[in-house]
């Protein structure tokens, strides 16, 4: 039976199980497997638990190895790869009884007073979140989907509840939300994407799909318990793989993060 987890604070409350080992739990999800954003966020939280200096994540790269089981706790094993003055590096392996389900590397940087230049801005004319219908699939992540054409997907997202000024929780909230929208953009590049005339509407009837690998570059701190805009574009499909690239902006147009994700999009043959 899946665990009764309905808020982000509980999701991030990892239990220590020996030196640099932590255990987390999560809820059931409508599609059956553990949501990949949960595992990425909990792995990042585990990495942060081994840092007692004012270093904050600036990038992470993760490979999804197997689909997780919501009925089992997840064990996060952290390896302290490097402790430097400016940068720290951590590696985290998430495991369940079937073996590893995620391998994550993260780099953390101390704040440096250097140039801050933003070259991008959120698209003008995007509807405000309060003008859109709710498209939530669970109690932790709130969603307001913006209709798009072509190989694009956009959504206002926020983690439910007040996370306050806790930079670590806010970074983990971005990691949690980051796995939601890129799959849609990447899959829209495929000529058999559901919704095309004459094809089934159910994605799972057409494809076997999964997240393969995932990267986040954290540019600026933000409040991910407030509405932030996730905008993605599909960059083609080849070899049963699709790529989605996107940016995250806050309500004021500040560029908070850039995200890339590669997905499995294999056509069913039977």
List, in sequence order, every residue forming a beta bridge with 82; answer none if it has no partner. 89
126 in a domain, yes or no?
no
117 in a domain, yes or no?
no
Q: Is residue 208 pLDDT above 50, yes or no? A: yes
Report which of residues 208 and 139 the model is more confident about: 139
62 in a domain, yes or no?
yes
Examine the residue annotation and report whether 179 is marked as an active-site residue of this protein: yes
Assign 205 a pLDDT band (cuts: 50, 70, 90).
Answer: confident
Q: Which of 179, 180, 187, 231 is catalytic?
A: 179
Report which of residues 196 and 57 the model is more confident about: 57
116 in a domain, yes or no?
no
Question: Are 218 and 257 a contacting pair, CB within 8 Å?
Answer: yes
The CATH number covering residue 196 comes to 2.40.160.210
Examine the residue annotation and report whether 38 is marked as an active-site residue of this protein: no
Query: 4-13, 182-191, 248-257: which range is least confident on average?
Result: 182-191
For the stretch 120-175, pLDDT in tens is 887 778 999 999 999 999 999 999 999 998 899 999 999 999 999 999 999 999 99
3 in a domain, yes or no?
no
Query: Average of pLDDT values for 46-74?
Result: 97
- Helices H / strands E in the chain, number of each: 5, 12
Spatial distance between the Cα atoms of 214 and 233, rounded to a whole number of angstroms: 15
**pLDDT of amino acid 1:** 58
212 in a domain, yes or no?
yes
Q: Which of 105, 122, 211, 231 is catalytic?
A: 211
Calculate the average pLDDT of the chain. Answer: 93
What's the per-residue H, E or C state across 167-221?
A: HHHHHHHHHHHCCCCHHHHHHCCCCCCCCCCCCCCCHHHHEEEEEEEEEEEECCC
Residue 49, CA atoms < 13 Å, CB-side half-sphere: 24
Spatial distance between the Cα atoms of 104 and 249, rounded to a whole number of angstroms: 24
255 in a domain, yes or no?
yes
Assign 226 a pLDDT band (cuts: 50, 70, 90).
Answer: very high
Owning domain of residue 226: 8-110+132-267
143 in a domain, yes or no?
yes
Q: What is the pTM of this model?
A: 0.94
For the stretch 62-109, pLDDT in tens is 999 999 999 999 999 999 999 999 999 999 999 999 999 999 999 999
The side-by-side arrangement of strands in the sheet containing 55-64 is: 15-16, 21-24, 74-83, 87-96, 99-110, 55-64, 207-218, 255-267, 241-250, 228-238, 152-159, 141-146
| Torsion sign, CA atoms 77, 80, 81, 85 | positive
In the chain, helix, strand, coil percent, each to 5? 15, 40, 45
How many domains is the chain built from? 1
């Amino acid at each position: 039976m899946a665990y009764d987890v309905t808020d982000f604070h509980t999701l991030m409350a990892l239990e220590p199980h020996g030196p640099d080992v932590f255990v987390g739990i999560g809820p059931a999800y409508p599609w059956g497997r553990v949501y990949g954003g949960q595992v990425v966020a909990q792995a990042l939280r585990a990495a942060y638990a081994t840092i007692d200096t004012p270093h904050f994540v600036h990038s992470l790269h993760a490979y999804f190895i197997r689909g997780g089981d919501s009925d089992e706790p997840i064990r996060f094993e952290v390896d302290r790869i490097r402790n430097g003055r400016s940068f720290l590096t951590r590696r985290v392996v998430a495991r369940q009884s079937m073996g590893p389900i995620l391998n994550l590397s993260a780099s953390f940087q101390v704040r440096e007073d250097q140039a801050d230049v933003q070259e991008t801005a959120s698209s003008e004319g995007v509807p405000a979140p309060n003008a859109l219908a709710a498209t939530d699939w669970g109690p932790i992540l709130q969603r307001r989907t913006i209709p798009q054409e072509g190989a694009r997907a956009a959504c206002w997202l926020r983690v439910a509840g007040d996370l306050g000024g806790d930079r670590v929780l806010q970074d983990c909230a971005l990691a949690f939300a980051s796995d939601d929208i890129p799959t849609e953009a990447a899959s829209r590049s495929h000529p058999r994407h559901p919704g095309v005339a004459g094809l089934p509407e159910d994605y799972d009837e057409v494809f076997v799909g999964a997240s393969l690998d995932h990267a986040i570059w954290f540019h600026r701190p933000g409040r991910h318990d407030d509405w932030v805009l996730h905008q993605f574009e599909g960059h083609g499909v080849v070899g049963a793989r699709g790529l989605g690239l996107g940016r995250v902006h806050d309500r004021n147009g500040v560029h908070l993060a850039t995200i890339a994700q590669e997905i499995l999009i294999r056509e069913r043959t039977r």
